[in-house]
Amino acid sequence: NAGVMQNPRHLVRRRGQEARLRCSPMKGHSHVYWYRQLPEEGLKFMVYLQKENIIDESGMPKERFSAEFPKEGPSILRIQQVVRGDSAAYFCASSPGSAGEDTQYFGPGTRLTVL
């Protein structure tokens, strides 16, 4: 059973460009979460999605960031007009349900570097 897959693993963008991060959840999981790990900081929740629905985006910056999880295909985290402060590791997780006891399984992450 393949785990959570993320691509690309490393992404370099210049200021002002767009970054598009992809996440394929584990087979059978319909709940997807995105977290960000800034240098010297812990992991922070960004957004929670189910198929075709954004359930909670309270952790996502209001400007420039968006996320989707379409009926077909991977979940996408999109960052427009990137700035140096967006440099971080972005992790996707998936779970079979959203109950507290459901384990979230994490992908390997995408490390975004903004030049």
Partner 1 sequence: AQSVAQPEDQVNVAEGNPLTVKCTYSVSGNPYLFWYVQYPNRGLQFLLKYITGDNLVKGSYGFEAEFNKSQTSFHLKKPSALVSDSALYFCAVPDDYKLSFGAGTTVTVRA
- Which residues of the shown chain bind partner 1 in the complex (CB under 8 A)? 4, 6, 31, 33, 35, 42-43, 45, 48, 55-56, 59, 91, 93, 98-101, 103-109, 111
Residue 16: CB minimum distance to partner 1, A: 27
Smallest distance from partner 1 to CB 107, Å: 5
**How many helices (H) does the chain have, and how many strands (E)?**
0, 11
User: Of the two residues 64 and 111, which places its CB atom closer to partner 1 in the complex?
Assistant: 111
Dump the DSSP string for 68-98. E--SSS-EEEEE-S--GGG-EEEEEEEES--
In the bound complex, what is the minimum distance in angstroms from residue 15's beta carbon to partner 1?
A: 24
Under 8 Å between Cβ of 38 and 45: no
Question: Which residue's CB is nearer to partner 1, number 5 or number 76?
Answer: 5
First CA to last CA distance, the chain: 37
Query: Which lies closer to partner 1 via its Cβ, residue 17 or residue 22?
Result: 22
Quick count: other Cβ atoms within 10 Å of Cβ 72? 6
